[in-house]
Amino acid sequence: MNYISPEQVKEEYGDDLEVLMRVFNHRVVEDEGVWRWECNRLTCHIQDHAPVYTPSAGDGGFHAQAQKFRASIDLNTLWIDFHRNLFSLDELMQFYMGIGYSLGGFQEVFSEEDVLKAVAMKGSDNCNAEHALKGNDNDDA
C-alpha cells in the first residue's frame, strides 16, 4: 500500500484536505491509482455488514429469540440523521474518511467551507490548523 504525504495531498487537492488530514491525523493511501482516506477496518466492516437485531414478536426485547441479520449502512440516511442533529459534521466526515472514501469523491460531498467548520469543531486544541490554512495564503508572498 502506498501512503500519500500531506504535501502531495496539498499539491493535488488543495489546502483544505491537507489540513483535514493533519487535524484528524488520518492517512491517505493510493488504491489502484485512486487516492483514498485510509480505511478503518472496523468502520468499513460496520458500513458493509452492520449487525442488526430485531426483537422477537412476543417479548419486544432483544433476547435469544431476536432475529439477527447483516445490513449495509445507507449514506443517504446518514445525511438525514445529520440534518436531524444526531451527530456533528466532523463526525460525519470522519465516518466518510473511515470507510476509505476517495479524495475526489470527498470533495464532491464536502465543500471547503464544510472542512473549515469541521476543523473549527475539533476545538481550540486544533486552532493551529486554521492558522495553517491562513498561513498557506502567505506562501506565495
Q: How far apart are CA 115 and CA 127, in angstroms?
A: 13
Mean pLDDT of 82-97: 96
CB 24 within 8 A of CB 94: yes
Per-residue pLDDT, 139: 45
Q: How far apart are CA 111 and CA 7, in angstroms?
A: 20
Q: Which residues pair with 2 in a beta bridge?
A: 30
The span from the first CA to the last CA of the chain, in angstroms, equals 37
What residues does each domain of the chain span?
Answer: 2-140
> Residue 53 pLDDT more than 80?
no
SS3 of residue 90 by DSSP: helix
pLDDT digits (tens, 9 = 90+) for 4-19: 999 999 999 999 999 9
Per-residue pLDDT, 140: 43
Mean pLDDT of 21-41: 96
Per-residue pLDDT, 124: 44
> Residue 59 pLDDT more than 60?
no
Mean pLDDT of 40-56: 85
Q: How far apart are CA 16 and CA 121, in angstroms?
A: 15
Q: How far apart are CA 73 and CA 91, in angstroms?
A: 15
> How much of the chain, in percent, has pLDDT values that exceed 90?
64
In the numeric block, which cell numbers belong to residue 19? Answer: 489540513
